[in-house]
């Protein structure tokens, strides 16, 4: 098992995993949406505007984690790395892929922080995600998000 930084040549792999991620979203209105916007964002992230990492087992991709750097709503001088998608193929959950992805994400975020590129970094947990305790990885819970206006599965 290894976790590596994605390149532009990995965009089709990442889009495939995003398609799986999207198909399991608890928001019905997004479950069949286009991946065109995701491809544009991936290109931006891989060009240096965030983090794109892939977990591989026996040289086959089994998971990914994506984050994008953006400015804070309250202070444009504070840049933050926001996790956008965190995915491990269903058949590989319960192993070490998710743990390794999160560790690598934290390692890269810490480097960005130490270089002064970001001030903080975040991860999110969807309502149908496996129950992972982010506190064990040093995170502090800061918010919960609730949804109305669409069918929630």
* pLDDT class of 150 with cuts at 50, 70, 90: low
Q: What is the CB neighbour count within 10 angstroms for residue 41?
A: 18
Give a yes or no: residue 145 inside a domain. Answer: no
Give a yes or no: residue 147 inside a domain. Answer: no
How is residue 7 annotated by DSSP?
-
Give a yes or no: residue 75 inside a domain. Answer: yes
| pTM for the full predicted model | 0.87
Q: Each residue of 37-71: pLDDT tens digit?
A: 899 999 999 999 999 999 999 999 999 999 999 99
**Per-residue pLDDT at 105:** 96
What integer is the mean pLDDT of 112-140?
A: 84
* pLDDT class of 141 with cuts at 50, 70, 90: confident
Of the two residues 18 and 133, the one the predictor is more confident about is 18
**Per-residue pLDDT at 134:** 79
Cβ-defined contacts of 149-153 (< 8 Å, 24+)? 150/27, 150/28, 150/29, 151/27, 151/28, 151/29, 152/26, 152/27, 152/28, 153/25, 153/26, 153/27, 153/28, 153/31, 153/128
Structure tokens, 126: 């969807």
What integer is the mean pLDDT of 110-135?
A: 84
Of the two residues 10 and 23, the one the predictor is more confident about is 10
Count structural domains, the chain: 1
What gap in Å lies between CA 114 and CA 96, rounded to an integer? 27
Report the CATH number that the domain containing residue 119 is assigned in CATH: 3.40.630.30
């Amino acid at each position: 098992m290894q976790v590596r930084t994605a390149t532009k040549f990995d965009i089709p792999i990442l889009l495939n995993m995003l398609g799986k991620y999207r198909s399991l979203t608890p928001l019905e209105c997004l479950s069949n949406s286009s991946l065109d916007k995701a491809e544009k964002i991936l290109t931006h992230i891989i060009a240096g505007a965030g983090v794109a990492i892939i977990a591989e087992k026996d040289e086959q991709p089994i998971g990914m984690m994506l984050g994008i750097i953006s400015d804070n709503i309250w202070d444009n001088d504070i840049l933050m790395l926001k996790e956008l998608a965190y995915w491990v193929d269903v058949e590989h959950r319960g192993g070490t892929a998710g743990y390794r992805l999160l560790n690598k994400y934290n390692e890269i975020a810490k480097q960005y922080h130490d270089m002064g590129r970001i001030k903080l970094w975040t991860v999110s947990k969807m309502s149908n995600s496996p129950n992972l305790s982010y506190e064990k990885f040093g995170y502090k819970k800061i918010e919960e998000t609730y949804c109305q206006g669409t069918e929630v599965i």
